[in-house]
Structure 1
Amino acid sequence: MCAKCGKIDDACLVFVKTSEKDVALWNAMILGLAYHGDVSDSLVVFSQMERTGVQPNDVTFIGVLSACNHSGLVEEGRVQFSSMADKHGLSPKLEHCACMLDLLGRAGHLKEAYELVQNMVIPPDSIIWGALLIAG
């Protein structure tokens, strides 16, 4: 709640003082930091989450990919997108693909963005096609 209200310092304090951190708490911190522009800290928290052995979920990767998108970290975004399936056994959903399309499009990687749409397991919807059109 603190992060959603823009009180990142308070959110960090609650996070640090909580001894039993579940995936929801990790996600709240990752998303809160990313949303408020603290991209590097968001990615650091994600790395800490992985080191502690907490399994990330779909929501985690929306935060991580959003953080990459906000800073134009194309290579980091590619690595994290791939790691969803390769490392964590998660299938990217439309939301993850839309984040990647936005990231690739903003960076001018339009051919790669189009190839991502062509290779999606889930049929692209209007949001995906819209993200691709906006990127172009």
Structure 2
Amino acid sequence: MKAIYLYDTTSREFQGSKLVDDDYVAATGETEIKPTDGLYEPITWDGAKWNGTDQAVWQAAQQAKYKAYIKEHPEDAPQPTAEQQQLAELIKNNAQQSTLNAQLIKQVAALKEASTTHTDTTQEVK
């Protein structure tokens, strides 16, 4: 048994594979040459070898298709779980608390400065 790799005779895009007897002769739209691992769609046959897209280009195309689909079908967009919503709320609260803490530290520093200045002025008066 051997593998035969199929391609569309017009677009030359990879269509799949099949197992055949060892004496099978490849027909039009078929080859015995296996597509190289790591190729991404579209994978096409040029008559001598398989050509495909690299992962980065393929991934970008997939993301663009997904965004377009979600724009047309917002009901299919993934919804955050209850845990994710709680985590987001905790992160928001933590950020607000950090801002408040920074403001309080500034106020305490200003009060200390004012107290020190007031003490220095009082000592000069005596």
TM over 0.5: no
Q: Give the TM-score of the pair, scaled to structure 1.
A: 0.21
Could you say which structure has the higher strand fraction? 2
For CA contacts below 8 A with separation 6 or more, give which structure has more relative contact order.
1
Could you say which structure has the higher helix fraction? 1
Larger radius of gyration: 2
Q: Give the TM-score of the pair, scaled to structure 2.
A: 0.22
